[in-house]
Amino acid sequence: MEDTILEIKGLKTHFLTDSGQIPAVNGVDLHLKKGEILGIVGESGCGKSVTSLSIMQLVQHPGKIVGGEILFNGEDLVHAKEKRMRQIRGNKIGMIFQEPMTSLNPVFTIGNQLIEAILIHNKISKREARMRAIEMLNLVGLPRANELVDEYPHQLSGGMRQRVMIAMAMVCEPEILIADEPTTALDVTIQAQILELMKKLNKETNTSIIMITHDLGVVAEMCDRIAVMYSGKVVEEGDTKSLFKNPQHPYTKGLIESVPDVRTKKDRLFSIPGSVPIPGSIKKGCHFAERCPYAFDTCREVAPSLLDVGNGQRARCHLHETEAKATLLQGASH
């Protein structure tokens, strides 16, 4: 794993409340290679965004990283001081937040916010920083960048604001770009443009990207590899083609079956019964057991491990612990 730029081992991020610790992220293991696009998918409440915020050490109180490692080029960010994290954020690891209107400061111009990010990490003049800001706005495909640099966030459309967020995240040429639901609030035309832009940046700058989304169409188009999260853990991981062709966890299988297919006519779309459990509400066994059509007694008593199931895939499921049970899941997926 010499080309691994980011490795997460046993990450635990809990929210310390009056009623006890709420494990939003409860033992996540992930790795990201240089130049790779990794998709993290799952329903709302599975811990995707908290994982990304933990990498940046931006989890708000009462949230706290209580265990695990986040190794960036071998350096453990869990124990990094705030001064060191300020050097890393934006400079080494950039982040596109879910809603640009709440991430951009409404009382400062687009240029001021871009220039500030540039000056924090580079010893250059304000004039040079302004030129760099305009260059980045042009790079992300925004028109009339010379004028736009002096405008305020409310003067821009949603798609334009999202492009500004990408420009801010990329302006210092980070090694890793974390995109948290970057196209959620955009129409399909703008969404396609944003995704194409990110793919272009990935190819031209060899930037590693973590794409966090619940949209399987986006990950199928964008990502080299996928990690499926459920209830604060990774339940399946593998390359995109293998995972879509032959999902090895019942939850992944359910997510894929939930995607509408225009080639088939159905009276009713498939949906996974139930909902994601409240973090900490399940004390033993597999957290997906109550929603799983293949669950048996062991599932409700013993927590499964993340197992190597072949083709470079790993799955957290008791069905893979014996050959007979693995055959049961294989047959159900066809």
Summarised one tens digit per residue, pLDDT across range 238-280 is 999 999 999 999 999 999 998 887 777 777 888 899 999 999 8
Report yes or no: 51 and 67 within 8 Å, Cβ to Cβ.
no
Q: For residue 262, what are the domain limits?
A: 248-332
What are the helix (H) ranges across the chain?
A: 48-55, 82-88, 100-103, 110-121, 126-139, 145-148, 158-170, 188-205, 216-222, 240-245, 250-257, 297-301, 323-332
- Look at residue 15 and tell me if it is in a domain: no
**Contact at 8 Å (CB) between 37 and 195?**
no
Looking at the predicted structure, is the pLDDT value of residue 329 above 70? no
Q: How far apart are CA 80 and CA 200, in angstroms?
A: 32
Q: Residues 118-128: what's their mean pLDDT?
A: 90
Q: Are 248 and 239 in contact (CB under 8 A)?
A: no
Q: Is the pLDDT of residue 185 over 80?
A: no
For residue 65, pLDDT beyond 90: yes
Tell me if 310 is assigned to some domain.
Answer: yes
Q: List the structure tokens of 205.
A: 């700058």
pLDDT of residue 334: 47
Q: At what angle do helices 126-139 and 158-170 cross, to 10 degrees?
A: 120
More confident residue, 208 or 265: 208
Distance, in Å, from the CA atom of 216 to the CA atom of 195, rounded to the nearest integer, reads: 13
Q: Which residue has the tokens 């999260």?
A: 229
Q: State the pLDDT at residue 134.
A: 94
Higher pLDDT, 195 or 248: 248
- How many independent structural domains does the chain possess? 2
Residue from 90, 264, 250, 278 nearest 177 by CA? 90
Residue from 92, 98, 94 nearest 167 by CA: 94
pLDDT attached to residue 190: 75
- Collapsed DSSP state (helix, strand, coil) of residue 290: helix
**What pLDDT does 27 receive?**
94
As a whole number, mean pLDDT of residues 289-315 equals 92
Asked whether residue 164 is domain-assigned, the answer is yes
- At residue 159, the pLDDT reads 81
What is the amino acid identity at position 276? V
Going by DSSP bridges, is the β-strand pair 313-316/306-310 parallel, antiparallel, or unpaired?
antiparallel
Q: Establish if 135 belongs to a structural domain.
A: yes
332: pLDDT strictly greater than 60: no
Is residue 227 in a domain?
no
Among 145, 173, 201, which residue terminates a domain? 173
Q: Which residue has the higher pLDDT, 38 or 184?
A: 38
Task: Using CA atoms of 332, 226, 256, 198 in order, give the dihedral in degrees to the nearest 10.
Answer: -160
SS3 56: coil
Average pLDDT, the chain: 89
In the listed set 173, 197, 224, which residue is the last one of a domain according to the structure? 173
Q: Say yes or no to pLDDT of 100 above 80.
A: no
pLDDT, residue 101, reads: 66
pTM: 0.88
Is residue 205 in a domain?
A: no
The stretch 72-83 carries a mean pLDDT of 94
| pLDDT score recorded for residue 157 | 86
Does residue 183 fall inside a structural domain?
Answer: no
Q: With respect to residue 59, please indicate whether it lies within any of the assigned structural domains.
A: no
Total count of residues recorded for the chain:
334
Which residues are within 8 A (CB) of 74 and not within 5 positions of it... i.e. 6 or more apart?
Answer: none
Q: ∠ CA(83), CA(86), CA(88), 5° rounding?
A: 115
Higher pLDDT, residue 140 or 144: 144
The band of 289, judged by pLDDT with boundaries at 50, 70 and 90, is very high
Q: Is 328 a residue whose pLDDT tops 80? A: no
For residues 40 and 219, is the Cβ–Cβ distance under 8 A?
A: no
Residue 201: pLDDT over 90: no
Q: What b/e readout covers 198-227, taking b as 16+ CB neighbours within 10 angstroms?
A: beebbeeeebbbbbbbbbbebbbebbbbbb
Distance CA(6)–CA(277), nearest Å, equals 29
Tokens 């949230």 label which residue? 63
Residue with tokens 């081992």: 9
Of 173, 202, 220, which residue sits at a domain end? 173
What pLDDT sits at residue 1? Answer: 55
Q: In sequence order, which residues have a C-beta less than 8 Å from that of residue 133 and are 6 or more positions away?
A: 110, 111, 114, 115, 118, 149, 167, 171
